[in-house]
Amino acid sequence: MSKQNVNVKPVLLSHEQIKALSDIQEQHRKASSIGVAPTIHEIARGLIDKALASITTAAATKLQE
């Protein structure tokens, strides 16, 4: 195991969450001219990144007030 993956932890998602991610994946596949789409893992990581960035931005805004 590389040092890069030492802090990687699995996250369990509900059936509904997996279904929502699959729906997003299918939207990407339909939008692609060659029918490719990101993996469910890539989609989930991207959504988490956006949520964390939003929380960080909101916290920074509150500190400035």
Q: Mean pLDDT in each 10-residue stretch from start to end of the chain (65 residues)?
A: 72 97 98 98 97 90 80
Query: Residue type at 54?
Result: S
Rounded CA-CA distance 54/32 in Å is: 28
Domain-embedded: residue 4: no
Rounded CA-CA distance 59/52 in Å is: 11
Domain-embedded: residue 2: no
* pLDDT for the residue numbered 2: 55
Domain-embedded: residue 20: yes
CB 40 within 8 A of CB 22: yes
Q: What is the pTM of this model?
A: 0.77
- How many domains is the chain partitioned into structurally? 1
Q: Which residue range forms the structural domain that includes residue 23?
A: 15-62
Domain-embedded: residue 9: no
* pLDDT for the residue numbered 3: 63
Domain-embedded: residue 44: yes
CB 43 within 8 A of CB 24: yes
Domain-embedded: residue 24: yes
